[in-house]
């Protein structure tokens, strides 16, 4: 198969400095809201990239479950491969790709665990089966067969038949606290529009962002 012919011209819009909010979280809200309004499937899907202590990068797709000016939150098993990376190197990059809008967004920064109360609030909002699944899966560990997984699921289903499923102590959320945003809008002839927000380290409030256009 010749991939050289896989080619799309991006012509749906542009991005100018005047279009951008001074606050990157507000700008994210505009783009995310637009993706939702357009009916894109799982607009909250994002790639989370981490690195091991020896520098080996690893990336996977997760779902954004909340965000505010503190950062962007996803949930996982605290014994998973990504959690081990974050324990050793608490920094990450996340990427949203809204291909139908010819847009992507890159965010990078430090990572911290959310509070137990915040994890519990989200955990209780999950469907019954998803809460059971958090107890069943020792994420990233090797298993011999799917049938073993299903047996464990049935066991947990009987154990918590009353529907009262506690929050596992090995499961919860992480918050990516942004230090950098990059908003990318596809343009014709691969002359894409890219704008980078970086925290102004000289600002005592810690809330001022410098905005610069990047070459495509």
- Point out the residues that are catalytic: 190
Torsion over CA of 36, 38, 42 and 47, rounded to 10 degrees? -90
Q: Are 25 and 33 in contact (CB under 8 A)?
A: no
Rounded to whole angstroms, how far apart are CA atoms 53 and 51? 7
| Measured distance between the N- and C-terminal CA atoms of the chain, rounded to whole angstroms | 28
Give the DSSP H/E element, type plus range, for residue 111.
Answer: strand 103-113
* CA–CA dist 50, 90 (Å, integer): 8
User: Rounded CA gap, 144 and 151, in Å?
Assistant: 12
Characterize the bridge pairing of strands 57-63 and 171-185: unpaired
């Amino acid at each position: 198969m010749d991939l050289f012919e896989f080619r799309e011209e991006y012509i749906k819009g542009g991005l100018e400095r005047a279009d951008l909010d001074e606050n990157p979280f507000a700008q994210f809200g505009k783009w995310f809201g637009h993706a939702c309004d357009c009916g894109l499937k799982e607009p909250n899907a994002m790639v989370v990239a981490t690195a091991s202590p020896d520098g080996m990068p690893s990336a996977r797709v997760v779902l954004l479950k909340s965000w505010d000016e503190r950062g962007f939150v996803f949930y996982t098993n605290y014994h998973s491969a990504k959690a081990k990376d974050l324990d050793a190197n608490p920094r990450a990059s996340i990427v949203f790709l809204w291909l139908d809008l010819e847009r992507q967004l890159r965010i990078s920064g430090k990572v911290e665990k959310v509070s137990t109360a915040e994890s519990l609030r989200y955990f209780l909002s999950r469907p019954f089966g998803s809460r059971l699944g958090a107890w069943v899966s020792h994420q990233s560990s090797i298993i011999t067969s799917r049938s073993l997984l299903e047996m464990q699921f049935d066991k947990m289903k009987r154990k918590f038949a009353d529907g009262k499923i506690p929050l596992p102590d090995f499961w919860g959320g992480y918050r990516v606290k942004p230090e950098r945003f990059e908003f990318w809008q596809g343009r014709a002839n691969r002359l894409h529009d890219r704008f980078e927000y970086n925290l102004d380290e000289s600002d005592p409030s810690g809330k001022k962002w410098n905005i610069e256009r990047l070459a495509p």
